[in-house]
């Protein structure tokens, strides 16, 4: 209806993340561990991250945010609603 909606939350599934081979998921595993440590948030099954963090991760993975988002969703690590958080028309 055109009304502004809040962007969806980006929620990492930490259990799934720990199961993805670290040759692929290593940078994200270290990034998530750093956020947990900065927040003192060690006991969660999930971790909500900033929109900005997805952009930073895209730089780390040398991919566009939309391509990285699809990859993380295919691993089962990121909630599919996160698609709405990235501008999929920007490639």
Point out which residues bind ligand C2E (CB under 6 A).
Answer: 9, 11, 35, 38-39, 41, 44, 46-51, 53
Per-position b or e across 17-49, b if 16+ CB within 10 A of its CB: beebeeeebeebbebbeeeeeeeeeeeeeebeb
Which of residues 25 and 49 has its CB atom nearest to ligand C2E in the complex?
Answer: 49
Neighbours of 69 (CB within 10 A): 23
Minimum CB–partner distance for residue 32 and ligand C2E (Å)? 9
Minimum CB–partner distance for residue 53 and ligand C2E (Å)? 5
Minimum CB–partner distance for residue 47 and ligand C2E (Å)? 4
């Amino acid at each position: 209806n055109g009304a502004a909606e809040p962007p969806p939350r980006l929620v990492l599934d930490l259990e799934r993340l720990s199961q993805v081979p670290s040759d692929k998921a290593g940078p994200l595993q270290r990034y998530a561990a750093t956020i947990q440590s900065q927040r003192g948030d060690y006991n969660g099954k999930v971790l909500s991250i900033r929109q900005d963090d997805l952009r930073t991760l895209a730089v780390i993975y040398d991919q566009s945010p939309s391509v990285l988002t699809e990859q993380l969703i295919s691993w089962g690590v990121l909630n599919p609603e996160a698609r709405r958080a990235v501008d999929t028309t920007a490639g």
